[in-house]
Structure 1
Amino acid sequence: MKRYGWLVCLWLLSIVSGVQASPLLVASSQWPGYTEADGQGLYFEVLRQALRSQGVEFKVQVSNWKRARFAFDQQRADVLVCDYASEHANGVYPKWYLDMDPAVFVFTRQPMPSLQQLKGQSVGWVLGYKFAHLVPSEIQLVEVNSHADGFRLLQGGRLTAVVSYQQHVPADWQGPIFKTQVQAPRPLYPVFQNTVSGRELARLFDQGMQQLQQQGRLQALYPPDVWQRSGLATFDPSSVDR
């Protein structure tokens, strides 16, 4: 039995060594301040610090969200940054998350007492975002390259509504704008491949995040307002059944 125990230990060690042998590929969309094309940004930095403490390095591939999801789903990327826990049936999610995604709203230029009024209307959101379940199914979907493009089309009357976030409403918006909340804030996770090495990476990420928190270094990575929004100060990983 002892011999088998040693074999298991050696097998696990080989997995960890394989994970750390070469840089991982992390796929993401470009979110200014969070995931930049040059590898900078809050989410990349938190992921980097958590994994680096476990001896793991990575490189990034930033495109639009639809391409990033496709690269991950085709196993061309090791990690996807970042998504909701229910979005990838074949993905592995750690216990720790990176941030709390703000509430999602439907924005219109006219009051919208009922979302059913959107039936048959042009509704836009960013390419690759999974917002279809938040609005009536009988809409004319217009996928846009960015939140700014969506609000520009809404302002110009080419969209009846845009599904987005409060922080993306242009500062120079002209005229009234109305909003209806369609999704409460939700945690955003790095998603790992559902493989032996992917599951080990998720474990290493959790371990690294726990160490950063215990050392008092995690909060220092976040701007004060984002740290407060994230809820990480009071997060208890033991409450997550994964």
Structure 2
Amino acid sequence: MRAWCFCVLLGLALNAGADSVAGFTASHIKMVNVVAPEWPEFTNKDGTGLYWDILRAVYEPAGIRVKPATAPWNRALKMVTEYRVYNAIVGETRDTGQPLIYPRYAIDVEYLSVVYPLRAGLSWKGLDTLKGKTVGWLKGYDVLPAAQRNFKLREFRTTAEGVQWLQQGKLDLLIDEWDAIQLALEEAGVGMDYFEVQDMPNGRDVYVAFAEGPVSEYLISEYNRRIPELVASGELQALYDKWQVGEIPAQVKAILGTVSAQ
């Protein structure tokens, strides 16, 4: 516990020092610390995965080493926004209310899954299915803005907790990433034969989101500069092809047409 506190305090001191130094140059930035939950093929714990590869392609040509780490979502978010142990978190959406700043380009499109028990006898009609029901998603996810919620929302802290609530009848439907749902069901020893799974109708662009500060502003400018280069060279498409997961966001695909027209 003492070692963890020391690391947090050290991270705070380093970030405070970096943010307070006026006129720093890119030569001061040798490493970017990035955190995300462990998502298979996207952010593997061993440092492999689509997102880690994209970040290396962005930063390492500029002499900035990417240091990836994995942690559960809520803890990872706090490590970026409150404790400043990491420079950025991967997989955040815009307008979450968190003290984060974003690059111009998203890194992926996320389609969340909706799971509900077969015994409920629901007929899937898109978002209309949620009306009047008790719906659960991870705390802080903000899947749908408050103005669009015609249902009762219960936020859970872990997907495992959400699955437990679904089994206990405390939730009618659960919304989360499919990989997380599948893992939670497996760990609970529950088969998919008892559930129906549907995709949310609209995908959400997700980003690499950075802690506020001048260091992040430089890292974002480098990200914005490099993504069009990776699109034009075909390197970005090659990374998506390599991992066979994820989806290049429409705003990023549009870069190719812009580059070709120049």
Q: TM-score range by the shorter chain?
A: 0.7 to 0.9
1:197 match: 215
Offset of residue 85 of structure 1: 2.0
Structure 2: which 5+ residue stretches go unaligned?
1-21
Structure 1: which 5+ residue stretches go unaligned?
1-10
Letter in 1 for 2:59: L
2:43 equivalent to 1:35:
yes
Normalised by the length of structure 2, the TM-score is 0.69
Offset of residue 95 of structure 1: 1.5
In structure 2, what is the Cα distance between the partners aligned to 1:37 and 1:229? 23
In structure 1, what is the Cα distance between the partners aligned to 2:226 and 2:199? 38
Query: Structure 1 residues 223, 95: CA separation in 2 closer, same or farther (over 3 Å shift)?
Result: same
State how many pairs are aligned.
Answer: 219
1:108 match: 116
Equivalent of 2:132, from 117, 121, 134?
117
Letter in 2 for 1:129: Y
SS in structure 2 of the partner of residue 197 of structure 1: helix
1:86 match: 95
In structure 1, what is the Cα distance between the partners aligned to 2:238 and 2:248? 14
* Runs ≥4 residues deviating over 6 A: none
Equivalent of 1:161, from 144, 148, 173?
173
SS in structure 2 of the partner of residue 117 of structure 1: coil
- Alpha-carbon contact 1:28-1:62 (below 8 Å) kept: yes
1:96 match: 105
Letter in 1 for 2:132: Q
Q: Identity of aligned pairs, percent?
A: 21
- Alpha-carbon contact 2:130-2:151 (below 8 Å) kept: no
SS in structure 1 of the partner of residue 29 of structure 2: helix
2:141 equivalent to 1:129:
yes
Equivalent of 1:65, from 62, 70, 73?
73
Letter in 2 for 1:117: G
Offset of residue 175 of structure 1: 3.6
Q: Could you say what the CA RMSD is over the residues aligned between the two structures, in angstroms?
A: 3.3
- Alpha-carbon contact 1:53-1:208 (below 8 Å) kept: no
- Alpha-carbon contact 2:109-2:246 (below 8 Å) kept: no
1:49 match: 57
Normalised by the length of structure 1, the TM-score is 0.73
Letter in 1 for 2:102: Y
Query: Structure 1 residues 17, 52: CA separation in 2 closer, same or farther (over 3 Å shift)?
Result: same
SS in structure 1 of the partner of residue 132 of structure 2: helix
